[in-house]
Amino acid sequence: MEVVCNLLRTVIHATPDDLLPVVYLFSCCIAPPHEGLEFGIGESTVLEVVADAYGIALDRIKEWNKKDLQIQCAEQTLLAALGQAAMYNEEDSKLPPEVQSPLEEVSHLIEISEKCVIARISSSDSFLQGWSTMLAIKVGHGEAADIVKQAYSVFPDFDKIVSALLTDGVWLLPKTCKFTLGVPVHPMLAKPINCVSDALTKFKGIEITCEYKYDGERAQIHYLENGLVEIYSRKSERITGKFPDVVAAVSRLKKIIVSSFVLDCELVAYDRAMHKILILQELSTRARKDVGTSDIEVNVCIFAFDLLYLNGQTLLQENLIIRREHLYASFEEESEFLQFATSITSNDAEEIQKLFDKAVGARQSIDIMQKKPNLMSGSKTVFEVKASDLTCSSEYPAAIGLVNPDKLLTFIVGGGDFTFSIKGSLRGARLVAVAKMYKAQEQRKESNKQSNMTNEDKDGDEDADKGDHRLSR
Partner DNA sequence: CCTGATGCGTC
Partner DNA sequence: GTCGGAC
Partner DNA sequence: GTCCGACGACGCATCAGG
Taking alpha carbons only, the member of 360, 430, 155, 97 closest to residue 165 is: 155
Whether 204 sits among the annotated catalytic residues: the reply is no
Instruction: Give the range of 168-176, 185-193, 220-228, 269-277 binding DNA by CB under 7 A.
Output: 185-193
Q: Which of 9, 178, 218, 445 binds DNA (CB under 7 A)?
A: 218
Binding mask 417-456 for DNA (x = CB under 7 A): --------x-x-----------------------------
Contacts (Cβ under 8 Å, ≥6 apart) of 399? 24, 25, 28, 29, 30, 39, 75, 79
**Closer by beta carbon to DNA, 284 or else 293:** 284
Which of 66, 67, 204, 289 touches DNA (CB under 7 A)?
289
Asked whether 108 and 96 are in contact (CB, 8 A), the reply is: yes
d(CA 352, CA 190): 17
10 Å CB burial of residue 343 (0-12, 13-18, 19+) is middle
Q: Output 88 or 232, the one with its CB closest to DNA.
A: 232
Q: For residue 32, which of 179, 145, 152, 132 has the smallest C-alpha distance?
A: 152
Q: How far is the CB of 313 from DNA (least distance, A)?
A: 27
> Which residue from 55, 89, 98, 122 is in contact with DNA, where contact means CB under 7 A?
122
Out of 160, 178, 235, 358, the only residue in the binding site for DNA (CB under 7 A) is 235
306 is a contact residue toward DNA (CB under 7 A): no
Q: How far is the CB of 114 from DNA (least distance, A)?
A: 9
| Nearest alpha-carbon partner for 158 in 27, 11, 314 | 27
Shortest CB 390 distance to DNA, Å: 7
237 binds DNA (CB under 7 A): yes
Q: Read out DSSP for 355-419? A: HHHHHHHH-TT-EEEE--HHHHS--S--S---GGGGPPPTTSTT--SEE-TTSEEEEEETTEEEE
Q: Smallest distance from the beta carbon of 65 to DNA, in angstroms?
A: 10
Cα dihedral sign, 396-402-404-407: negative
Per DSSP bridges, beta strands 338-340 and 300-310 are parallel
Closest approach, Cβ 44 to DNA, in A, equals: 3
Interhelix angle for 426-449 vs 43-54, to 10°?
40
38 binds DNA (CB under 7 A): yes
Count of CB atoms within 10 A of residue 106's CB? Answer: 26
Q: Decide: helix, strand or coil at residue 39.
A: coil
Interatomic CA distance for residues 217 and 288, integer angstroms? 13
Distance, in Å, from the CA atom of 232 to the CA atom of 368, rounded to the nearest integer, reads: 23
Q: Does 407 participate in binding DNA (rule CB under 7 A)?
A: no
Residue 470 near DNA by CB under 7 A: no
Q: How near is the Cβ of 85 to DNA at its closest, in Å?
A: 20
Minimum Å gap between C-beta 397 and DNA is 6
Of 155, 148, 301, which Cα lies nearest the Cα of 216?
301
φ, ψ of residue 324 in degrees (nearest 5) = -60, -40
Residue span binding DNA (CB under 7 A) among the ranges 43-51, 137-145, 347-355, 412-420: 43-51
Q: Which stretch binds DNA (CB under 7 A): 136-144, 229-237, 375-383, 429-437?
A: 229-237
- For residues 166 and 287, which CB has a smaller minimum distance to DNA in the complex? 287
Contact between 1 and DNA by CB under 7 A: the answer reads: no
Q: Does 253 bind DNA (CB under 7 A)?
A: no
* CA gap 182, 220 in Å, rounded: 10
User: 62, 160, 178, 213: which is the annotated catalytic residue?
Assistant: 213
**Of the listed pieces 304-312, 330-338, 390-398, 434-442, which binds DNA according to CB under 7 A?**
390-398
At residue 379's C-alpha, the angle toward residues 376 and 384, to 5°, is 80
Selected binder of DNA within 311, 388, 421, 452 (CB under 7 A): 388
Residue 84: what residue type? Q
Indicate whether 191 belongs to the interface with DNA (CB under 7 A).
yes
Q: Which lies closer to DNA via its Cβ, residue 224 or residue 369?
A: 369
Sequence-separated (6 or more) residues with CB below 8 Å from residue 64: 103, 461, 464
189 binds DNA (CB under 7 A): yes
Nearest to 273 by CA among 302, 299, 292, 253: 299
Which residue, 239 or 434, is less far from DNA as judged by CB? 239
> Beta 343-345 vs 209-213: how paired, if at all?
antiparallel
Based on the shown chain and the rule CB under 7 A, indicate whether residue 125 belongs to the binding site for DNA.
yes
| Contact flag: residue 294 with DNA (CB under 7 A) | no
Instruction: Give the nearer residue to DNA in terms of CB position, either 220 or 339.
Output: 220
Q: Which residues are catalytic?
A: 213
Binding site for DNA (CB under 7 A): 38, 40-45, 72-75, 121-125, 189-192, 202, 215-218, 233-235, 237, 239, 280-281, 284-289, 386-388, 391, 394-395, 397, 425, 427, 471, 473
